[in-house]
Structure 1
Amino acid sequence: MPTKGNYVAGRQVSRWDTESDNVDIQYRHFDNRESPGLAEFFAGKKGTILKVLLLFVCFLIGLIIGYIIRRNIHEKYISPSTDSSPVTVSSIYQDYDPAVSQMLQRDLEDIVNIEDHIKTWTAGIGLSAVGSTMKIVMGAHDMWQYFPLDGLTWTNYSVLLSYPFLQSPNRTTIAMETPNGTILWNANFNISAEHPEQMPFNAYSPEASVKGKLVFVNFGRKSDFGILHQLKVPINDSILLIKYGKIHPANKVKHAEENGAAGVILYPDPLDFANNNTEAVYPSTWWLPGWAVHSHHVRYTLMGDPQSPGYPSLDGVYHQPNLKENCLGCPGIPVQSVSYNDARSLMRSINGSSVPDDWIGGLGVAYKTGPGHSDNRLVNLTVIRDLVQRTISNLVAEIKGQYEKDRYIIIGAHIDSWNRGGVDSASGYAVLWELLRTFSFHTKKGYRPRRTLKFALWDASKYGHVGSFEWVQEMEKEIGLGAIAYINLDTVVRGNYTFFAESSPLLFDVIREAASTVKCSDLDYQDMSVLDRWINTYRDPDRPTQPKIEALQGDSDHSPFYYYMGIPSFSPAYMYNPKKYPNLPNYPAFNTLEDTKEYLTNFTDRNNYTLHIKVTQIVADAILRLSDSALVPYNIQNIADVLQQGKSKLKKMNYTNVNSDFLFSEIEIFSTKARLLQMNLTNLDKSKINEEILYDINDKLIQLPRIFIVNGGLPEFPQYRNMLIAPHPENLYETEVFPGILFAYRQGQVTGDWSGVRIQQSRLAVATRQASNNLQSIMTVLQSLH
């Protein structure tokens, strides 16, 4: 708006200016009289005739000009047509550039930086809110302030966390005693009484002291409990000994509670975690020593803070009281982990039936079911826990996009650990730091991403991705509209056998193409790309020319983004050979005190942080594809593949009076349109589209996965809202297609009521039709270009 006194003589005054009080007008010429010579020329009868002639000439000139203008307008006018062809076409402003990718990758080869980040992280115990996490967040914040960022946000949340009783950690005990109470044996799971923050524990276990006979339940799967029932082994009021592995610890405990157990003891069997005692153990190798104890949360419902389900736990919001006695989604029976040395003592002289062959582990004792021991000894499990409200902190850095500021690629890593976390979580933290450094400082050199980048450090991830879930709930409206993808950097170097990725289907192509731009780290295969080597080491049996990409497991920071919000996500890593070690849920030292910087550098990334650099370079290229590609690089054919997979599964199930024709028909319609549209997008001549058309197409692509998000969540699982894919209700490490339908089906098998199946099928069918309409709207835009 013009300001008073700033008017310049000769400048045009707009309508805004004339309606404003802040315009100065010059009055000094208003009293000047008309030139006398011109007045005399038009005076008298002669002047009147001249005036008439002048007016007539002006009129003729006006007619001629009007005709010319009108004729030109008709020549340029384009009548309405069914194809809505654009009048003008201009080129797109920015697209993925391989040269930029190589430039960024060259700047991501600093080994010293990676080592420094990992050294900083592993200097203390990373227990959320009481360990070194606050120091890590503050250190990152203080450094990132000097990066050329467009935003840096620190957010605190007040959440309910679980700890060992820090004032007296040794009050948690596992003992064997005679029926009259004489102590025969005590577990030795606290190797460092001087550092109570290093006490192994299972977060969200309740405080309790229980006594009972010991029963062995293999991995604690439902099928394992089924075998015990077949053998008529009594489980009620027993203490259950269960191996780590195969399924998530929380699912093991939930199955135990559902079967009437009094408590649970978890342990890592040496068959799986020490290669069946055939090799040396840590510190000579990466295999777990006999004294090592795992920590893990055992919470059933992972929806952020237990005190504020459904909304972020910010200062001032309502926190539900009395949760120490009634913690949302927490187990009702005590849980504690032990080493396999202690498990051997517990299993020695156990009574009962011989177990199936595939239950036998590497403890070197007879594996029997129980209950109890030959001398009638009992197991006493006493767990003392602090369940307290603590402040956790997330830190989010932002680099604004040049052309699409309201669309985001989010990259995250967690900053907490149960221990020193050399692999988990220092490795992901180091990779994220280097990515932020490189992308931010290249903005000073002239590069800026097309879309906005957000780099996040999450707190309290080990408690069930609490920090990331709180942030997602707070930012739900914003990221629900604009987030294109989330990249999760969690334990990014778990081994050195192969590159590995978990992903939602829309991003499969992005990961594979990014891996093709980076050279293999293996000295024997340096002529190959990471993608080539990945195909050789971890081939997809259904697509032999492609590497196998796994589904996203349920207990990591990608979960709220993908399973709650529908935001496509992926999680990259270097991995041990999962085919050779199928029972390992992660690298052996995962969640133990043995996970140190030395463990990482001696066993998982032995060649001077080379694998960290490779992961960083692959992720950098993936970020570039997601942020800079003119067209959002989703492969929508992969959604059709998921629908077809679910359809095949439903056809094999024994329904009673349930008609699936409507759903199956909608799946076929979507599949046909997806195949045709993906072909058109792949072959699209981008010179024929402008930014307006591009924005319209991308907007529809971004909304496609959100169509399958159901308000209120899936039956019994409000933390999961994705109708296409969700974590399996009996194992957070696995997923299932059409989770709502399958949950209702399992209920129908028990109750005989199939109305739930009909409802879930109808919801999915309607969503699939809406998704088809979404694809058709994109096809209409593309057809208008021809």
Structure 2
Amino acid sequence: MAKGSLTFERGEGSRDYLDTSYKSGQNFRFYLLVAMLACFVCLAVGFVIGWFAHPAKSQNHTSDIPTTTGKILSGLSRDKIKEYHKFLTNKPRLTATDGEFEAVDYIVAQMSSHGLDSVKVKSYDVLMSYPNSSNPNKVQVLSGGTVLFQSQPYEKGLSGEDNSKIVPPYNSFAPAGQAQGKIIYVNYGRIEDFLFLRDNLSVDFTNTLVIARYGRVFRGDKLKNAWKFNASGLILFTDPADFNADNSSKTYPDSWWMPPSGLQRGTVGGDGDYLTPFYPATDYAYRLDVSEVDLPKIPCQPIGYGDAYHILSRMGGRKAPTAWQGGLNFTYHIGPDMDDPLTEVRLEVNNYVKIRPVKNIIATIKGSLEPDRYVILGNHHDTWVYGAIDPLSGSAAALEISRVFGNMLKTGWRPRRTIVICSWSGEEEGLLGSTEWVEDHMKVLYERAVAYLNVDYTVDFTYALAIGTSPLLQDSIFEATKKIPNPTPSNSEKTLYDIWKKHLPADKSNPDTEPEVYYSLGSGSDMATFYQRAGVPSTDMYYTYDQNRWPILSYPLYHSAYETYHMYSAYIDPSYNYTLAMAQLWAILACDIAEANILPFNAKRYSTAIEKFVTEKEELFGQSWKLNNVNLKSLKSAAKNFSQATAKFHEMIKDLDSPSELKVRQINDRLMNLERAFIDPEGLPGRRIYKHVVFAPSKYDSYSDNSFPGIVDTMVDIEQNNLDKWDLLKQQVFVATHSVAMATNTLDDVGL
């Protein structure tokens, strides 16, 4: 039948059916071709199966991890870091100005010369906020129409700088407007400060200005609070109690303390581009009209404590509480009365908004075995003024890491996984560059990003490491610090880990405890969108001061015109030993993660943290939850099951004997996706941009996290704001319970 069918289909009527010479030769060639093709397919399939089935060796792809570490330690140069740093800090690098574009060109040229696989610039067009240089913002004290005092238009140069042409003092995204009238002192401008004044002193903020000192919470939250309590405008100042804690007569340029003329710039806006929420600000993006955008509502302006003196010293009314007293040499009063009944304060803000490009630099080293898995290093290159600490100490370190990685590539080294070095734009105005890039690559990052390692800056003082991290990365960080020499050679401790543990132990009463890390990453730098929305395990690292010695809220010259190369090289890290140590940590941690067969993530750290958080919530809220039928039992059960699952998972890893590459990939996918299990697509109540159920910025302070933020923020509304949100609370407890249960499933072989 087959032959007859062949004859019929060919339509070869002139050939005799019994003449098989032609047909048999054709069949032979056909079967030979099929056989050859089958052999090829079998060989290919066999190769793939053999590759994934063979035991995964300790892969380093021409070098093992100790050799990689040795090359990093011997290759990184403090002199090269200093060279990069000096150039980058020689002029202001405000976002989307000529100064920043010059920095972009410089970084691209340097990274390209280092021999990395790819160096690209990716731009986004975002809404930016700038001050009007020809009509500067101002704060005035008036009496009967006479100007008694006016704030300085810029910070005068104190160490040879010409500051007359730097960006004038302003708060980005504070709207243009004027406010005039009496003024009230609101301490740090936290929600509890406003509530204290309203509920205990019957203060009415309507149509008054308020003045708050910087610190404790994000400046944008201070402005929101002022608006919510019906104030007409906000003045922010750097109090010497917080920025000159030694009460020293020696301030910049003779020390690192803030002088009276110094002030802190900073955004009061949100994260990402206002006009393209949740989506990247590409050239083809749909944009909202500015009139549709929820920008800050009342004007706001920063001043130094030299200027604040002229306002606060004239204020009367009730004496401020002891805890509200600051560092100026008089008693602080609440107001709104002034020493002269005719005295008023006037605030004038002339900021404007404009669409401008932010330019990110993305450099890649392609992985040899898993090019579709990314270990990402990030820092930003935009500044408020000279930015010697924040961020350019980090930018200089990133450039030096790029140079050393390039040299290692030339010797044949290549990591197992792809390493990406990112230099972000627009961080200072609201994480603009990194947020738009994550939004642009969200789906790919969700599937492929292994870790994001952020260094906003390297060093603000030389006492101890400060590291915020996902629990998953904690052990990786510890192991990396054990490979790095102590940057204080005169100290007896041998490694960075040893000196970190000595200066910042997790348990102050136990000298043998491990070092302290914090899990509260907040949204103060570029790790935020990676962590809060893409669910990428993230860390933020820097070297800092002794907070027991100086209980200050940030390094003193933060975001001021005095954050200069002179300040850094004279008072912060003159030897550049600590800047070098941070570069070593950043590079070694990246390579440890990029080169390991099985990712060095410890899921047990996560389950331990969650059980601790659940216990804390029970201690804080258990009684009221019981009275209102909140299902705590299921949350406790989910946390316990998660702990059992993480223990079982790591026992399975420990018992592996020469696992195949396929098995390694399966294990790593579960570790990598564990963080994603805590991402809720619906986001937090009223704040869809934040999606991490376990860690997210507080509703009342974007700088710091709450554990289980949906629960905690709802309880604040119930207990402090007297709102009936018990149904919402029950929903958030359920969301937390479900997320923990899904994390447990993530670690299972099947997970269904």
What is the TM-score of this pair, normalised by structure 1?
0.85
What's 2:308 paired with? Answer: 343
Q: Which residue, out of 485, 494, 512, partners 2:451?
A: 485
What's 2:743 paired with? Answer: 771
Following superposition of structure 1 onto structure 2, how do residues 282-321 of structure 1 map, counting pairs within 5 Å?
282-299=252-269, 301-302=270-271, 304-321=272-289
Q: Secondary structure at the match of 1:422?
A: coil
Distance 1:587 1:194, change over 3 A: closer
Q: Which residue, out of 730, 734, 739, partners 2:704?
A: 734
Following superposition of structure 1 onto structure 2, how do residues 158-177 of structure 1 map, counting pairs within 5 Å?
158-166=125-133, 168-170=134-136, 172-177=137-142
Q: Secondary structure at the match of 2:129?
A: strand
What's 1:121 paired with? Answer: 88
Q: Which residue, out of 355, 371, 393, partners 1:427?
A: 393
Does the 8 Å contact 2:119/2:364 carry over to 1? yes
Cα root mean square deviation, aligned: 2.3
Q: 1:455 & 1:117 partners in 2: Cα distance?
A: 16
Q: Which residue, out of 219, 228, 233, partners 2:197?
A: 228
What's 1:23 paired with? Answer: none
Q: Secondary structure at the match of 2:296?
A: coil
Q: Which residue, out of 222, 245, 252, partners 2:215?
A: 245
Deviates more, 1:114-123 or 1:752-761: 752-761
Distance 1:753 1:566, change over 3 A: same
Deviation at 1:382?
0.4
Deviation at 1:279?
4.5
What's 2:121 paired with? Answer: 154
Q: 1:369 & 1:751 partners in 2: Cα distance?
A: 28
What's 2:570 paired with? Answer: 602
Does the 8 Å contact 1:352/1:369 carry over to 2? yes
Deviation at 1:629?
0.9
Deviation at 1:226?
2.2
Following superposition of structure 1 onto structure 2, how do residues 452-601 of structure 1 map, counting pairs within 5 Å?
452-525=418-491, 527-541=493-507, 544=510, 545-550=513-518, 551-584=520-553, 586-601=554-569
Deviation at 1:327?
3.7
Q: 1:221 & 1:748 partners in 2: Cα distance?
A: 18
Deviation at 1:15?
4.0
Matched residues, percent identical? 28
Following superposition of structure 1 onto structure 2, how do residues 329-340 of structure 1 map, counting pairs within 5 Å?
330-340=295-305
Does the 8 Å contact 1:124/1:131 carry over to 2? no
Does the 8 Å contact 1:169/1:199 carry over to 2? no
Q: 1:333 & 1:16 partners in 2: Cα distance?
A: 79
What's 1:618 paired with? Answer: 585
What's 1:111 paired with? Answer: 78
Deviation at 1:145?
2.7
Q: 2:439 & 2:243 partners in 1: Cα distance?
A: 37
Q: 1:500 & 1:731 partners in 2: Cα distance?
A: 20
What one-letter code is carried by the residue in structure 2 that aligns with 1:182?
Answer: T
Residue deviations 1:227-254, cap 9 Å, x none? 2121222322111111111111111111
Distance 1:753 1:278, change over 3 A: closer
Deviation at 1:148?
2.7
Deviation at 1:17?
8.6
Does the 8 Å contact 1:431/1:489 carry over to 2? no
Deviation at 1:160?
0.4
Q: 1:222 & 1:201 partners in 2: Cα distance?
A: 23
Deviates more, 1:662-671 or 1:145-154: 145-154
Q: 1:573 & 1:386 partners in 2: Cα distance?
A: 34
Does the 8 Å contact 2:58/2:64 carry over to 1? no
What one-letter code is carried by the residue in structure 1 that aligns with 2:574?
Answer: R
Are positions 1:198 and 2:195 aligned together?
A: no
What's 1:267 paired with? Answer: 237
Distance 1:218 1:457, change over 3 A: same
Deviation at 1:93?
5.4
Q: Secondary structure at the match of 2:332?
A: coil
Q: 1:462 & 1:218 partners in 2: Cα distance?
A: 25
Q: 2:132 & 2:34 partners in 1: Cα distance?
A: 73
Q: Which residue, out of 717, 741, 750, partners 2:687?
A: 717
Q: Secondary structure at the match of 2:612?
A: helix
Does the 8 Å contact 2:711/2:732 carry over to 1? yes
Q: Secondary structure at the match of 2:320?
A: coil
Deviation at 1:105?
2.5
Q: 1:284 & 1:747 partners in 2: Cα distance?
A: 47
Does the 8 Å contact 1:233/1:369 carry over to 2? no
What's 1:363 paired with? Answer: 328
Deviation at 1:89?
4.7
What one-letter code is carried by the residue in structure 2 that aligns with 1:177?
Answer: L
Q: Secondary structure at the match of 1:523?
A: coil
Q: Secondary structure at the match of 2:428?
A: helix
Structure 1 spans left out of the alignment, 5+ residues: 1-9, 20-85, 781-786
What's 2:350 paired with? Answer: 384
Q: 2:135 & 2:479 partners in 1: Cα distance?
A: 50
Q: 2:360 & 2:405 partners in 1: Cα distance?
A: 20
What's 1:182 paired with? Answer: 146
Distance 1:307 1:779, change over 3 A: closer
Distance 1:246 1:87, change over 3 A: closer
Deviates more, 1:93-102 or 1:734-743: 93-102
What one-letter code is carried by the residue in structure 2 that aligns with 1:350?
Answer: M
Deviates more, 1:340-349 or 1:654-663: 654-663
Deviation at 1:474?
0.3
Deviates more, 1:542-551 or 1:387-396: 542-551
What's 2:636 paired with? Answer: 664
Does the 8 Å contact 1:519/1:526 carry over to 2? no
What one-letter code is carried by the residue in structure 2 that aligns with 1:154?
Answer: V
Deviation at 1:207?
0.3
Are positions 1:403 and 2:403 aligned together?
A: no
Does the 8 Å contact 2:138/2:151 carry over to 1? yes
Does the 8 Å contact 1:642/1:724 carry over to 2? no
Deviates more, 1:110-119 or 1:95-104: 95-104
Does the 8 Å contact 1:262/1:334 carry over to 2? yes
What one-letter code is carried by the residue in structure 1 that aligns with 2:455?
Answer: L
Residue deviations 1:603-632, cap 9 Å, x none? 11122x111111111112111111011111
Distance 1:238 1:87, change over 3 A: closer
Deviation at 1:465?
0.7
Q: 1:16 & 1:209 partners in 2: Cα distance?
A: 85
Q: 1:103 & 1:522 partners in 2: Cα distance?
A: 19
Does the 8 Å contact 1:502/1:571 carry over to 2? yes
How many residues matched? 692
Q: 1:441 & 1:592 partners in 2: Cα distance?
A: 37
Does the 8 Å contact 1:423/1:600 carry over to 2? yes
Distance 1:87 1:702, change over 3 A: closer
Q: Which residue, out of 741, 759, 767, partners 2:731?
A: 759
Residue deviations 1:116-141, cap 9 Å, x none? 11112112111000141111111222
Are positions 1:441 and 2:407 aligned together?
A: yes
Does the 8 Å contact 1:213/1:239 carry over to 2? yes
Deviation at 1:277?
2.1
Does the 8 Å contact 2:382/2:427 carry over to 1? yes
Distance 1:579 1:527, change over 3 A: closer
Deviation at 1:18?
8.7
Q: 1:112 & 1:751 partners in 2: Cα distance?
A: 58
